[in-house]
Structure 1
Amino acid sequence: MYLLVFLQVPGNGLVDSATFALINVAPLAVLAAAAHWLIKRHLMLWSVPAQIIGHVAVAAAFAVVWFALVTGLLEVRSAVISGGKLEFAGFTGGAFIWQALQGLVLYWAVAATTYAVRGGRGAAPVTIVSAAPLERYLTRTGDEIAPVNVRDIVLIAGAQDYAEVTTLTGMHLVRMSLGEFEQRLDPARFIRVHRSHIINIDHLDHAEPAGGGRLVAHMATGTVVPLSRSGSQALRQLIV
């Protein structure tokens, strides 16, 4: 595509156009591979707000680094041909805006492709190792794989098609929707108290009225979870 674009520039022959295309594409390929690795191995494991902030920062860095590499390679080419000194002037005006915009757009294309390849889920995969009801599963954090005992789960928060699991010792993300999780959990222990929350009543400290027939659950970890009306009713049904 870049070759076709540069061939349209008056005065550019095939060799010059191919050189200009390579100068743009070679750094881009390296940066795209690095961005894909960073997103897959790190950003996807973060919480949603952290992922958003991380993508904004990495996108800006991606555009700046690509701009610098392309500028530097063009100046090296010019110096080699003319035999002059290296002078890194860079792009100006509309060319600068266009180059920076390309960098941002290309980064988001890489990010979108990375999420699509992973099934659109920004979390670590889960390998189920027991029959329903779920008792234990494996989760990955970076290169490490660790077992998680379901009885240690305090609450599960859903976001799109992955779940944020809070245990007695910390939090992790898994590639399982809240609905999928609910189907594998022991209904005598886990209650869907909201469309985006499941709590483990083994780790419920207490619940208090919040008005309008709703309750607020205070978990053993100190987390406060607002319950929907139906979730409040489900919790009240356990009162004996």
Structure 2
Amino acid sequence: MPLRSAEDAEPSDRPTAKRAGDRLPSVAAVYAMGIALLLALYTIVFAVTLDAGWPGALSTAIANVVPLAGLAAGFYLILHSAVLPRSVIAQGTWHIVLAPVFALSWYALVLVSLMLLRAIERGEMAFGTFSGVALVWQLFQGVVLYALVAACAYALRGGRQSAAVQIVASGPMQRYLTRQGDELVPIAVGDIVTITGAQDYAEVTTIAQRRHLVRLSLGEFEQRLPADEFLRIHRSVIVNLRHLDRAEPAGSGRMTLHLSNGQSVEASRTGARALRDRVI
């Protein structure tokens, strides 16, 4: 099965996404730049709107941005590990839940930070709250900031972690190349356990429990897989039947598939019917 990397391709065939992806800053760099930018912006806003001078504006900005820094890091990890691998509908549902949670959490932490700031500056411990337009504006900021965190998570995931090599093959592919750091690593199709749709990408989990993204949609990936080994059990999940240990009913015509790497995935009614059709 011939494989050709981007370096071996003709100039017109080389994927521009690879070169652009290699120039992406690290997650830590994006995080640091974002926090520094927000701190600068909040300082300027508070200096203009509050009659407290630049030192007071900076301390108030810190009281707002420090809690945000912790929340942004925590919610990025949640998005990266638990939300982005899911189907588009599931992701939308999670965003509807997480956005207000993020906004309310930031609001509560800002109140605590401002209370501590007053205690340091004035020597008094007084807990205050926002009300009216100020409360609405604070919560709206929280939702917008959550959207920025989610946008960064999508951009970094799609641009950095997806396979950066084009697959050039005829017929069902047997292996392909993916990038790990500066190295190109071959992935044997037989080692794949599950493939999950993630927008225009597919997230692959191998028998060694390693995960990576490939720049193919789930439908495109399915067309290139050996049809006798792989089965689409859900709109967003393909499994390798070689790694199926057992399948059990899950109610309402669905089935739960237990795989050799310890994963358990649920087949839809259509997927369960397709699996039963494989029974000899």
**Both proteins in one fold, TM over 0.5:** yes
**Consecutive unaligned residues in structure 1, runs of 5 or more:** 140-145, 166-171, 201-217, 225-240
| Residues 157 and 59 of structure 1: CA distance in aligned 2, closer, same or farther (over 3 Å) | closer
Name 1:15's counterpart in structure 2.
55
Alpha-carbon shift at residue 177 of structure 1 (Å): 1.0
Whether 1:71 and 2:111 are equivalent positions in the alignment is yes
Name 1:106's counterpart in structure 2.
145
Q: For 1:104-146, what per-residue CA distance to the aligned partner results, in whole angstroms no more than 9, with x for missing partners?
A: 000011101110111279xx857999x762246899xxxxxx9
- Contact kept? 1:162, 1:174, Cα under 8 Å: yes
Tell me the SS of whatever aligns to 1:45.
Answer: coil
Aligned length, in residue pairs: 192
- Contact kept? 1:126, 1:137, Cα under 8 Å: no
Query: What residue identity is the alignment partner of 1:221?
Result: A
Query: What residue identity is the alignment partner of 2:273?
Result: G
Question: 1:163-178 residue pairs with structure 2 within 5 A?
Answer: 163=202, 175=214, 176-178=216-218
Question: 1:147-186 residue pairs with structure 2 within 5 A?
Answer: 149=190, 160-163=199-202, 175=214, 176-178=216-218, 180-182=220-222, 184-186=224-226
Alpha-carbon shift at residue 75 of structure 1 (Å): 1.4
**Consecutive unaligned residues in structure 2, runs of 5 or more:** 1-40, 179-186, 205-210, 241-268, 276-280
Query: What residue identity is the alignment partner of 2:59?
Result: T
Q: Give, in whole Å, the separation in 2 of the partners of 1:88 and 1:27.
A: 16
| Residues 127 and 5 of structure 1: CA distance in aligned 2, closer, same or farther (over 3 Å) | closer
Tell me the SS of whatever aligns to 1:119.
Answer: helix
Q: Give, in whole Å, the separation in 1 of the partners of 2:59 and 2:192.
A: 60
Query: What residue identity is the alignment partner of 2:141?
Result: Q
Alpha-carbon shift at residue 38 of structure 1 (Å): 1.4
What is the alpha-carbon root mean square deviation over aligned residues? 4.6
Alpha-carbon shift at residue 50 of structure 1 (Å): 2.1
- Contact kept? 1:46, 1:173, Cα under 8 Å: no
Query: What residue identity is the alignment partner of 2:272?
Result: T
Name 1:222's counterpart in structure 2.
273
Alpha-carbon shift at residue 188 of structure 1 (Å): 8.8
| Residues 41 and 118 of structure 1: CA distance in aligned 2, closer, same or farther (over 3 Å) | same
| Residues 16 and 164 of structure 1: CA distance in aligned 2, closer, same or farther (over 3 Å) | closer
Name 2:42's counterpart in structure 1.
2
Structure with greater proportional strand content: 1
- Answer with 49-58 or 87-96: which moved more: 49-58
Q: For 1:46-100, what per-residue CA distance to the aligned partner results, in whole angstroms no more than 9, with x for missing partners?
A: 222222222222211111111111111111222333333x332311111100000
| Residues 164 and 11 of structure 1: CA distance in aligned 2, closer, same or farther (over 3 Å) | closer
- Answer with 176-185 or 43-52: which moved more: 176-185
- Contact kept? 2:201, 2:213, Cα under 8 Å: yes
Query: What residue identity is the alignment partner of 1:103?
Result: G
- TM-score of the aligned structures, taking structure 1 as reference length: 0.60
- Contact kept? 1:44, 1:51, Cα under 8 Å: yes
Tell me the SS of whatever aligns to 1:87.
Answer: coil
Whether 1:87 and 2:138 are equivalent positions in the alignment is no
Alpha-carbon shift at residue 24 of structure 1 (Å): 1.0
Name 1:25's counterpart in structure 2.
65
- TM-score of the aligned structures, taking structure 2 as reference length: 0.52
Name 2:154's counterpart in structure 1.
115
Whether 1:38 and 2:78 are equivalent positions in the alignment is yes
Bigger RCO of structures 1 and 2 (CA < 8 A, at least 6 apart): 2
- Contact kept? 1:23, 1:70, Cα under 8 Å: yes
Q: Give, in whole Å, the separation in 2 of the partners of 1:220 and 1:183.
A: 17
| Residues 99 and 50 of structure 1: CA distance in aligned 2, closer, same or farther (over 3 Å) | same
Q: Give, in whole Å, the separation in 2 of the partners of 1:61 and 1:137.
A: 40
Q: In terms of Rg, which structure is larger? A: 1
